[in-house]
Chains A and B, each alone.
Chain A
């Protein structure tokens, strides 16, 4: 099973700052099948990024995804108040999916 390790566990930033969230895979992951989700309390997750770097429909362009080998990054260029939430990466391989443990983005 491919394990996704997200860091940091919690990120404390202020509105307007840039956020950088990391997701490291335990083995090679196809970038085609790497996605990022945002989840707010009491809500279902919302798809932000698919294919490692492609924004889903309706997602603001301040959100971007990138990859370098087995390391994947979600960046938020200028934090808005509504961006403070928990973020998960997800991968698919061999008929199985795994999620990272999440990064909580909190207001500093």
Chain B
């Protein structure tokens, strides 16, 4: 079935950069908008960014605007999140997600397992 697998998480110092990846499989990746959602330890969910199916449109949460860049490689079924100028408050599990079934309006029915990013000095 439809699968998303995140990678690239780790421990990074404040102010440094990190790039996350999300490998998509078993669906036509190039026809779906893709999202990143994060969850700080013990906290709730926070939407981070979305990219349109062809990469032409990108939108970000105010908390990451100007620091994070979402991108995609449709030839390799890969979603990415370049995170620059990382802050302590960016520490979280990062999920990639999408609305796969088109009748679901804008709800996310497919999620990856998440990758942990820890920003610490």
Contact = CB atoms under 8 A, between A and B. Distances in A.
Do A and B come together as binding partners? yes
A40 B114 CA distance: 14
A99 B105 contact: no
Interface stretch (B7-15, B42-50, B71-79, B80-88): B42-50
Contact of A99 (B44, B50, B109, B114): B44
Contacts, number: 63
Contacts of B106: 33, 35, 92, 97
Contacts of B113: 44
Contacts of A47: 104, 107-109
Interface string A91-108: 010011111111000000
Contacts of A33: 105-106
Which size bracket describes the interface of A in this complex? 20 to 34
B44 A45 contact: no
Given A92-B105, A99-B44, 8 more contacts: A35-B107, A44-B97, A50-B104, A90-B45, A92-B106, A96-B47, A100-B44, A102-B45
21 contacts: A35-B108, A39-B45, A44-B95, A44-B112, A44-B113, A46-B111, A47-B104, A50-B107, A51-B104, A51-B107, A56-B107, A56-B109, A57-B109, A88-B44, A90-B108, A95-B59, A96-B59, A96-B61, A98-B47, A101-B44, A102-B44
